[in-house]
Amino acid sequence: MANPSTFLVDHHHVLERVTNLFTMPGLPAAGVFCRDGPPSLLHFYNRDVFAEADAAASLPSPPPEPEPSSPSSPSSPTPPQRRNRIALSLYDLDGTLIRPKSGYKFPRGADDWMWWHRDVPKRLRADVAAGRHVIVLSNQNLHGRLLRDWKDKIRMIAHEIDDVPIRVFAALDRDKYRKPNIGMLEYVLRMYAERGWDVDLRKTFFVGDAAGRTGDHSSDDRNMAHNANLTFRTPEYHFNQPFPRAKTPDEIALAW
């Protein structure tokens, strides 16, 4: 039987290919923007990690051990549903993962971007190899052509690191989703919960440049981390730390 989520993804990919024909032909692109969330919260992903994990879990496995017969114990109810557990690497976007390659403060087009630090792609791959999910939480003030350029830029970024499953959220309005509010993070946690995943917030961190330092444009990133009781790191600190050690799938499973 066809997996409904696989169908959904394929459907999105078809839509995406059609959409790209009308946006920026010629620019490399990957990933899809979801249309089923709140209008003020953009949601992009390049790979459906939930469907991939579900598919991996449904591989043939050894038969379950027979239950010991114990007449005194009451018949057990249905076994609890399997739940996955994951730590997240949360990143701000502008001034953290990327910056305009033109050198201007604001980008001049969809392709006006470069990695904030040359090790960003390696670092994101290391996060994944260490058994973490990479999620971007960004505030944006974009409409019309600027918003279309921004979406093209996100597709380009995803294309450049197409081996890294990445999800990008962007708060467009001054509402509960906008950092330093924690609505964007709560949306992410709810999405994970609905798909049967628990997020380990103790091992989750948030990296952002809006840290309230001299010269910073705001302290929204640091304050969001504080409001959500998350570990906060500046990009200057984070991208100069040693890479996390890669774990085997068994180690990742045993870590929980």
Least distance between Mg ion and beta carbon 97 (Å): 9
Single out the residue of 209, 220, 233, 235 in contact with Mg ion (rule: CB under 5 A): 209
Should residue 95 be labelled a site residue for Mg ion when binding is judged by CB under 5 A? yes
Rounded to whole angstroms, how far apart are CA atoms 180 and 123? 25
CB 98 to Mg ion: min, Å:
9
Q: In the bound complex, what is the minimum distance in angstroms from residue 112's beta carbon to Mg ion?
A: 16
Specify the stretch interacting with Mg ion by CB under 5 A; choose among 75-83, 84-92, 163-171, 189-197: 84-92
CA angle 239, 186, 170 (to 5 degrees): 60
Kindly tell me which residue out of 48, 92, 127, 220 binds Mg ion, with binding defined by CB under 5 A: 92
CA distance 103 to 135: 26
Sign of the C-alpha dihedral, residues 124, 128, 130, 131? Answer: positive
The answer to whether 220 contacts Mg ion (rule: CB under 5 A) is no
CA dihedral 90, 95, 99, 103 (to 10 degrees): 180
The reply on whether position 180 binds Mg ion by CB under 5 A is no
The residue (of 152 and 209) whose beta carbon lies closer to Mg ion is 209
Cα 54 to chain centroid, rounded: 18
What residues make contact with Mg ion under the rule CB under 5 A? 92, 94-95, 209
